[in-house]
Chains A and B, each alone.
Chain A
């Protein structure tokens, strides 16, 4: 443990807040392009829930807009998983499955404690239960749908597997039993993939080079471009209010 209570809370709030902010942004990119109208509603709904969480968390760490719009790539603390491009619908769903399963377990633990995130977690855990349910149902439909959807879903769960280990690396300010969280995550995801007739990926869940990765401000290439788009207007009008 390092730092004072306040800086530890800030560090944890940034990690969790950036996760929610960045994933919300990615889901926002789907607007107008979803495969069915019902998914326009669902994806926007999840994006809005995540943005709501991000705003609460970033406000714990400082000014939400300054933090979202004026930090550079190397200062963001989100995991690399959430910044991964949307890809096809299967990639988006695999990313949702991995992340919402993690978030549900994480908020479950935080809600049962009495730390600075207990209040937020108690509210958010209801939202993320819905997100996980949504992701699981689509994993089943795509995995156990047509040969084409099965192939795409398997490709997606394989491609994103290497970003899942990072979720369970220690975050300063979060005093959690991470190994229990990881075990529960693996059980849940293994069960869902099995029911979806998919194979649990066998590769490593993190790379040696990227140890620490997003939590240390080390991101993937597409992230800088995402931030450029997100921050451009705000940065073009310094000091303006909107």
Chain B
């Protein structure tokens, strides 16, 4: 974009510059920013941006990055028990990709002037959140398939529009993430298909997993539109392109025929095609459960965060060693050059 480079904005207090002049300057920056957003141009790291836009993006990207790394846990739970070597390889590759997605996203957040260490600290102290879905336990192997199909499916529905998000680094990270996620989603669906067409016990395992993961997956789209505090502003800034309820509906419309193809039922007696709307109607979500999980009272909130903190604490001596080694050896290198 052709916006003004940040760095000179907000000169209030500089001798000789009156408050009115500063305010006018500020308004000029805002006008350039608003015009860029309106024209669907990308905002880049060095461009001026409103502080609230920056803060909102840091919050969203960090939460997204945290979700990737906390999201490794429920699936990693099954790596050592995967029932075939092929499935084990697929699952390992998926968990590895999630770590990679976390890395892209922390990098994207860092372009906004924060650091990975700072964000991780906020995660570890509960000041930043991650997706509520990862507070549910993976109780059987079929949960791995259900997560791939439903959880990744919901994530993709959320993330594809983010590939057109107004902030360039986030949009570009999303392009890469979505490609890999789509691959995982197909693999999850295929794993579930093998179960639903397998033995009676396998079919029952698949149905049970879908019964447990369906509603939490619908909750991944966030609160209903009339209770979503961030939506209006995020849409005005073109960070978000659709409301929570629009995306949730899109996901249901895709998932219902997929469930039929799997030969599995969805745990909602109210699902039926609405000819008039051209969409599937579906039952009411238990928002009490949603808010409860979000507040930290889900089945695995403590476990997930404790494990993450533990990994970080246990790894402290390793990170310190790497830093000390780097310092010693760049030091020696520097002397040799001098």
- What residues of chain A have their CB less than 8 Å away from a CB belonging to chain B? 21, 25, 28-29, 31-41, 44-45, 47-48, 51-52, 54-55, 58, 64-65, 68-69, 88-89, 140-142, 144-146, 148-149, 152, 229-230, 232-234, 237, 239-242
Contacts and interface: CB of A to CB of B under 8 A. Distances in A.
B127 interface: no
Contact of B201 (A54, A68, A140, A237): A237
Contacts of B328: 144
Nearest to B106: A37
B96 interface: yes
A78 to B, nearest CB: 15
8 contacts: A25-B80, A28-B79, A32-B311, A44-B96, A55-B86, A233-B81, A240-B199, A240-B201
B99 interface: yes
Contact of B72 (A25, A31, A51, A54): A31
B307 A229 contact: no
A28 B89 contact: no
B324 interface: yes
Nearest to A148: B317
A64 B96 contact: no
Q: Which of A38, A149, A239 has most B Cβ within 10 Å? A: A149
Nearest to A229: B80
Q: Which of B72, B102, B195 has most A Cβ within 10 Å? A: B72
B320 A40 contact: no
Given A21-B85, A35-B314, A242-B86, 20 more contacts: A33-B311, A36-B322, A39-B318, A40-B96, A41-B96, A44-B92, A44-B99, A48-B89, A51-B85, A51-B88, A68-B85, A69-B84, A89-B318, A141-B322, A146-B324, A148-B321, A233-B81, A237-B83, A239-B199, A241-B198
Q: Which of B83, B84, B310, B314 has most A Cβ within 10 Å? A: B83
Given A31-B72, A31-B92, A44-B95, A55 B318 contact: no
A145 B102 contact: no
B95 A34 contact: no
A103 to B, nearest CB: 19
A47 B92 contact: yes
A237 B320 contact: no
Contacts, number: 142
Interface in B33-63: none
Given A31-B72, A35-B311, A37-B102, A241 B85 contact: no
A172 B314 CA distance: 42
A197 B96 CA distance: 32
Nearest to A58: B85
Contacts of B83: 69, 233-234, 237, 240, 242
B194 interface: yes
Contacts of A25: 80
Contacts of B323: 145
Contact of A240 (B82, B202, B319, B320): B202
A41 to B, nearest CB: 5
A51 B89 contact: yes
State which size class the interface on B falls in: 35 or more
Contacts of B212: none
Q: Chain A: interface secondary structure? A: helix
Contacts of A31: 72, 76, 79, 92, 95
A54 B85 contact: yes
A141 B307 contact: no
A213 to B, nearest CB: 23
Interface in B172-197: 191, 194-195
A196 to B, nearest CB: 9
A51 to B, nearest CB: 5
A28 B311 contact: no
Interface in B79-111: 79-89, 92-93, 95-96, 99-100, 102-103, 106
A89 B201 CA distance: 39
A237 B88 CA distance: 17
B324 A145 contact: yes
B189 to A, nearest CB: 14
Contacts of B324: 145-146, 149
B9 interface: no
A240 B328 CA distance: 56
B100 A230 contact: no
Q: Which of B81, B307, B326 has most A Cβ within 10 Å? A: B81
B315 A89 contact: yes
A38 B80 contact: no
Nearest to B328: A144
Given A55-B89, A145-B324, A240-B198, A45 B69 contact: no
Given A25-B80, A38-B103, A51-B85, A145 B321 contact: yes
Contacts of A52: 89
Contacts of B84: 65, 69, 234, 242
A70 B21 CA distance: 79
Nearest to B140: A233
B315 A37 contact: no
